[in-house]
Structure 1
Amino acid sequence: MIGPRSVVPAGDLTRLRQINERAVLAAIRVGGELRLAELVSLTGLTRASLTEVIRGLRDKGWVVEQDAMTAGRGRPAHRYRFHAEAGHVVGLDIGAYAVKAAVGDLAGTVLGEARRQTRPADSRAKRLDSTVDAVGDCLRAAELPANAVWMTTAGTTGRIDRNGRILLSAAIPGWAGLDLAGRLAELLGGPVLVENDVRLTTLAEQRLGMARGVRDLVVLQAGRRVGLGLVLDGAVRHGHRGAAADVSSFSALSCDHAVDFLDLCPAVPATGGTGDRIQDVLTAAAEGQPAAVNAVGRYVRAVSQVAAAAVSLIDPEMLLITGTLAPYADLVRPILLDELHLRCITVPRVEVSTLGPDAVHQGAVQYALDHLADLLLGDPDSALPALTRPQ
């Protein structure tokens, strides 16, 4: 139970109203549709105080009153819910081989998704055009106009500064040096945030996936690229300058060579090749072809070095495998566990992502919502503003 009144001086009615507003809004955002009696129980406020607070939240646009329902005898029970459809955010995953987009409401519910195919050799302009097209596609899927979007977050590969400029990108030639946040703001309109794709994957996994609620977590992205994401004390770790868990320049832990074990393997699955060498070798390994199984083993043992280093430093509750290798957990997990037991004093639980290829843009939606909450909910010592599109 929330008891805001007990900590407020009796004469400070303005401060009391601000605290009560936030207590009621927090309950409704988490609890969904709630009746007045349920809000009394959750907040500790009287019915009279709640009625006044809800009236103010409704006038400001934060709360919507649902049609009253009659349950047995007595007056119909009024229900209240968070006004999630008042605004929307877009999450992007801009990769070497595809651009994916999702639009979600203020509660994080994804309403529309889209994908546009790209190639590593595509020019900046072509990749940006594909991004704009993907955003348009997902908005049409959700039947939303462009001006319904309050904020966009783009996840992409590489090292990114705090202003959204790409400092380094090995996977996308010509991507380095681009002011991605500024360029997308021009093309899409509205504020744009840019974050590393592995960090957004980590955020999605910790909020929505197998690692939900895990407070100390290492995310190992394994595929064409190897990346790490860290959650410490419940928060995704960025680092002082945004370079936490980036070991790309550390030769002792660099795994750039590991993909060669898969790329150079001649195995082709019995079901037929797709033209994607990595995928074909993984499929052949799942079918039991010895050369492919050996190639996957060599890859995982190489990648395990960076995983073991992170586990030894952090002592996490969980190590989560994401990326291209995640669907092949039956092959990957036993080898990785053996390597961790050889290298680490303690070995965490090893799990596999269930979010799959949607993790980056789902994490981008969550990231945008976090920043919107900071912007709209603002100073806890101030009253809630009217829920309107941020300027």
Structure 2
Amino acid sequence: MQTTAQRAEPRSVRRWNEKTVIDVLRAHGAQRISALRSFTGLTPGPLGDVLRGLSAKGWVVSVPDETPGRGRPAQRFRLSRPEGWVLGVDVGPHAVRAVRMDLAGNAVERVECEVLRPGDLQAMHERTAEAVGRCLQGIGAEDLWAGTLAVGGHLDDEGSVVRSVAVPAWEGHRPLELLSDVLPQPFSLINDVRAETLAEHEVGEAQDVEDFALAHLGRRPTLGIFLEGRIRRGAHGTAGDLSLHPQLGRGVTGATGDGDDADQLVAMIRQALAGDEGARSGIREALERMAEPFALAASVLDLAVIVIGGPFAAVPDIAVPALARAFDERSRSVPELRTTGLDQFAAATGAARQALGWVDGTLASAATGALERERSCFRAEVGGRVLVH
């Protein structure tokens, strides 16, 4: 059967070119025309048209080249820096954390509020209101473009929590609805470990790899999976969820995984850091119990790197050798093990980065090209849709 090649429409080519130029400037910073031609393969005429269009839509600005030399300074182009903010909120059973970022991805405010009645929905609601209010203090509602909420558990496509080991009270509820009166709109939803995984790739230990996993080792061990440059959510939204694994269901201290188990874990880690051999032995035993499912996942996915996160990242001299030994015994290829450098705000940071990506991805894509880089344009595109990452 003979087919006839279809010529691309000029409009679709222009959209693709706009997205390509934006991606280059985002990845490499300000560039001269010559460098943009090299990165994009565009000739001077089409590239000039694209840059003029992006400038008119508020995406790029020209700046003088700071390189010393003779004659007139060469012109460089960079992404504009519009005013505004995004917000990431991590609502956990014991604390609520919020991070506010500017639209260049710089964290400018971080707030943490302890939940005095762990796992209680009303208590978490109250602390969320406090954390968001403090994080947004001094800025107007019109200055916030978007936000993302991070919660623990299996999320369905409608934004409901199907199952949550960390906060059983979430189950059957939609967190965005329960917190709608304290979260400025629009807000999207993400699993907290997936948010941590995104933070590792954006600002943490996995910025240089496109295939890695975050092994969150603590009271509820979970695997955050990042493949081919994207977070892996899975066909049913449960990729990396190890909460039902029989070896992990008892919690790291041998308790149920709820109640005082978190306090026992914190105490165990503190004792291990102080040199208590009993506590160090307990952590090794817990890691050995976790090792098999993590090693199997690493082997099946053929991961380049595993980043160790969660509470056990505080004792890398125990965690790294224990996991390396387990992987060596169980895996065909042993991934490089790294320990997170992020703190307790990792999930909130990842949520804020997801909100930023939501804004940029809505306003610039290969399908639509570059839309006006305005808050009103973003909100018109998003409408009232619920987005679950």
Q: Give the distance between the partners of 2:173 and 2:256, measured in 1 at CA.
A: 31
Q: Quick one: which of 216, 219, 224 aligns to 1:221? A: 216
Q: Give the distance between the partners of 1:223 and 1:106, measured in 2 at CA.
A: 33
Counterpart of 2:182 in 1: which secondary structure?
helix
Q: Match for 1:150: what amino acid?
A: W
Partner of 1:302: 289
Counterpart of 1:260 in 2: which secondary structure?
coil
Q: Match for 1:205: what amino acid?
A: E
Distance 1:77 1:278, change over 3 A: same
Q: Quick one: which of 181, 206, 214 aligns to 1:211? A: 206
Q: Quick one: which of 243, 248, 251 aligns to 1:254? A: 248
Larger mean Cα displacement after TM superposition, 220-229 or 28-37: 28-37
Counterpart of 1:93 in 2: which secondary structure?
strand
Q: Quick one: which of 162, 169, 180 aligns to 2:164? A: 169
Q: Give the distance between the partners of 2:67 and 2:338, measured in 1 at CA.
A: 46
Q: Give the distance between the partners of 1:43 and 1:58, measured in 2 at CA.
A: 17
Alignment pair present for 1:113 and 2:99: no
Counterpart of 2:370 in 1: which secondary structure?
coil
Partner of 1:230: 225
Question: Whose relative contact order is higher, 1 or 2, with alpha carbons under 8 Å and at least 6 apart?
Answer: 2
Q: Percent identity?
A: 31
Q: Give the distance between the partners of 1:291 and 1:39, measured in 2 at CA.
A: 59
**Alpha-carbon deviation of 1:355?**
1.6
Q: Give the distance between the partners of 2:332 and 2:38, measured in 1 at CA.
A: 47
Partner of 1:290: 277
Q: Give the distance between the partners of 1:364 and 1:55, measured in 2 at CA.
A: 33
Q: Match for 1:179: what amino acid?
A: R
Counterpart of 2:99 in 1: which secondary structure?
strand
Q: Quick one: which of 313, 330, 354 aligns to 1:343? A: 330
Distance 1:195 1:293, change over 3 A: same
Counterpart of 1:194 in 2: which secondary structure?
strand
Alignment pair present for 1:124 and 2:124: no
Partner of 1:153: 148
Partner of 1:316: 303
Distance 1:357 1:51, change over 3 A: same
Q: Is the 8 A contact 2:221 2:242 kept in 1?
A: no
* TM-score w.r.t. length of structure 1: 0.83
**Alpha-carbon deviation of 1:373?**
3.1
Partner of 1:3: none
Counterpart of 1:188 in 2: which secondary structure?
coil
Q: Quick one: which of 178, 181, 199 aligns to 2:194? A: 199
Where in structure 2 are there 5+ consecutive unaligned residues?
A: 380-389
Q: Quick one: which of 92, 100, 112 aligns to 1:95? A: 92
1:37-52 matches, within 5 Å, as 37-47=34-44, 49-52=46-49
Q: Give the distance between the partners of 2:243 and 2:31, measured in 1 at CA.
A: 49
Q: Match for 1:166: what amino acid?
A: V
Aligned residues: 369
Q: Give the distance between the partners of 1:119 and 1:355, measured in 2 at CA.
A: 24
Q: Give the distance between the partners of 2:184 and 2:274, measured in 1 at CA.
A: 48
Alignment pair present for 1:33 and 2:27: no
Q: Is the 8 A contact 1:123 1:174 kept in 2?
A: yes
Q: Give the distance between the partners of 2:241 and 2:16, measured in 1 at CA.
A: 41
**Alpha-carbon deviation of 1:240?**
0.9
Where in structure 1 are there 5+ consecutive unaligned residues?
A: 1-6, 264-274
Q: Give the superposed CA RMSD.
A: 3.0
Partner of 2:20: 23
Partner of 2:383: none
**Alpha-carbon deviation of 1:218?**
2.9
Q: Give the distance between the partners of 1:230 and 1:158, measured in 2 at CA.
A: 15
Q: Match for 1:292: what amino acid?
A: A
Q: Give the distance between the partners of 1:106 and 1:197, measured in 2 at CA.
A: 22
Partner of 1:178: 173
Q: Match for 1:254: what amino acid?
A: L
**Alpha-carbon deviation of 1:108?**
2.3
